[in-house]
Structure 1
Amino acid sequence: MQPINFMFLDVLNISASFICMILKLPQIALLAHVKCTKGVSLRALLMELAGYIVFATYQRHHGSPIATYLEYPILVVQDSILLLLILHYDGNMRLSPIYSLAYVVGWQLLTLQGWIIDLALSFCTFLSGSSKFTQLQCLWSTGEAGQISALTWGLATYTCIARIFTTLLTTGDRVVLTRFVVLTALNGWVFLTVLYYRWRVKKLA
């Protein structure tokens, strides 16, 4: 690998990891401020959280460089905070122990056999993609951006693009590459949809 490629790879890894450390903070701050979950899909968040757990477990199981998936444990923590906020503002905090138990048990099952985590990753791409599409459906049904943070979705789009390049330059794993291509398209779709609804509201104001 040429030195320039090493430099490019380092920039992508560092930028993706740093952005993911703050990726969900705009959304968390917005929910905490307005104390309303309108436009935010709980089902999409649950699917996204499951996808993060599966992907991080897959990468760790196959010995991928930690720099290529370091952000995923951080994203799991941030999504967990978002989940608690949504449950709190919707008056469903009693469900939090059930969700916690389900994810812990699911993670333990993933680590029982190698073939389980390999199969789970294939399903994970579908699950993560479905979570984005579910959020799109939620936006379409409300007809407005609600409490969705455009910044969060814009940053998510960038990190997936960055991970396409880091995968190509390191493992070349086609399953992982397919995942990031799909998520780039869907994250970008959500981002543009949020921008459109915000523009429409300003235009009508």
Structure 2
Amino acid sequence: MAASEGVEANATSFMDPLKDVLVNYLMPEKCYDEFFLNFNFLHVECLKIIISKGLGIGIILGSVLVKLPQILKLIGAKSAEGLSFNSVLLELFAITGTMAYSIANNFPFSAWGEALFLMLQTVAIGFLIQHYSGSTVKGLGFLVMYFGLVAFILSPVTPMSVVTAMQASNMPAIVIGRLIQAGTNYRNGHTGQLSAISVFLLFGGSLARIFTTVQETGDSLMALTYIISSSCNGLIAAQVLYYWNVRPAVKKKAE
């Protein structure tokens, strides 16, 4: 009897650190009990929570590098041909709105964390577009103005109504921004220095975000934003495939 109690105590002490990690980052305590105490591994609600949390964490980890291929492509080519600065500005507006709205509503980081990393990388792309267009000073001014604006939006001074209005404005901003980039691609007859890897990762990430947003926040406004974002990212991804073998240099030679 004492031996079995000792084994049980050791098992419990072994599981405690694991429980802390799982309950803090992946599942609520009731789901931990369902899986590890009741051995009910087919609990539908808990499975949905774990899938959503896992996808959310995966998206955030992926977002750290999602636009890095685009940044490296710009630096390697020393050119921003084919990229629209106006499209980048509208994308930044949408990302900033999502981030501010999520923070104001105390949504879990797993539901919106990629917005932070996408924002930093998109700002870098905006600067590089200005830099390689011969307007480095404008690029530096853009950085100062943008980060000053973000600090103001995230401060208590900004009313919640303004933050909600920004989130609601995400939909037209995303659509217009993507249509500007799609129009640029169409007029050029190629996708210029757009990175196919970044485009496809953004498309996949926005699709996964529809599920995680519904599951973790239940916010229909955010879910609709990601549905529209997925559609627009899909359009750019389709253009990347359509113009796959068309390169700016080849086009210029032909002319």
The answer to whether TM tops 0.5 is: yes
Q: Which residue in 1 is equivalent to 2:197?
A: 151
Query: Are the equivalent residues in 1 in contact too, given 2:123–2:143 (CA < 8 A)?
Result: no
> Which whole-Å deviations, capped at 9, do the CAs of 1:60-79 have from their partners, x for residues lacking one?
00111111111111111111
**3-state DSSP class of the match of 2:64?**
helix
Deviation of the 1:142 alpha carbon: 0.3
The answer to whether the 8 Å contact 2:127/2:140 transfers is no
Q: What is the CA–CA distance in structure 2 between the aligned matches of 1:47 and 1:196, rounded to whole Å?
A: 24
Tell me the residue number matched to 2:63.
Answer: 20
Q: 1:119 maps to which residue?
A: 165
- Structure 1 unaligned blocks of 5 or more: none
Retained in 2: the 8 A contact 1:54–1:110?
no
Q: CA deviation at 1:98?
A: 3.0
Candidates 101, 109, 114, aligned match of 1:58:
101
Percent identity reads 24
Deviation at 1:129, TM superposition (A): 2.1
Contact kept, 8 Å, 1:13 with 1:166, in 2: the verdict is yes
Displacement after TM superposition at 1:150 (Å): 1.2
Alignment TM-score, normalising by the size of structure 2: 0.75
Partner of 1:138: 184
Deviation, 1:81, is 1.3
Is the CA contact 2:128–2:139 (under 8 Å) kept in the aligned structure 1? Answer: no
Cα offset for 1:188?
0.8
Q: Contact 1:40/1:147 (CA < 8 Å) preserved in 2?
A: yes
Q: Distance in 2 between matches of 1:24 and 1:104?
A: 19
Is it true that 1:181 corresponds to 2:181 in the alignment? no
| Unmatched segments (≥5 aa) in structure 2 | 1-43
CA distance in 1, matches of 2:201, 2:166: 26
**AA paired with 1:106?**
L
Following the alignment from structure 2 to structure 1, what is the Cα–Cα distance between the partners of residues 246 and 77? 21
Q: Which one has more relative contact order, counting CA pairs under 8 Å at least 6 apart? A: 1
Q: Tell whether the 8 Å contact from 1:20 to 1:75 is kept in structure 2 after alignment.
A: yes
Whether 2:84 is the aligned partner of 1:38: answer no
Q: Is the 8 A contact 1:54 1:121 kept in 2?
A: yes
Is 1:83 the counterpart of 2:126? The answer is yes
Answer yes or no: is the 8 Å Cα contact 1:56–1:72 preserved in 2. Answer: yes
1:165-196 alpha-carbon deviations (Å, 9 max, x no partner): 01111221111011000010110110110111
Deviation string 1:58-117 (CA, Å, 9 cap, x unpaired) is 100011111111111111111111122111111101112432343244331565101111
User: What CA distance in whole angstroms lies between the structure 1 residues aligned with 2:71 and 2:101?
Assistant: 27
Q: CA–CA distance in 2 between the matches of 1:35 and 1:98?
A: 20
CA contact (8 A) 1:129 1:182 kept: yes
1:64 maps to a residue whose letter is: F
1:5 aligns with 2:48: yes
Q: Which amino acid in 2 is paired with 1:121?
A: Q
Aligned partner letter, 1:158: G
Q: What is the alpha-carbon distance in structure 1 between the residues aligned to residue 67 and residue 163 of structure 2?
A: 26
Q: What letter matches 1:84 in structure 2? A: F
Tell me the equivalent position of 2:206: 160
SS in 2 for 1:198: coil
CA gap of 1:36–1:200, structure 2 versus 1, over 3 A, is closer
- Partner Cα separation in structure 1 for residue 246 and residue 192 of structure 2: 12
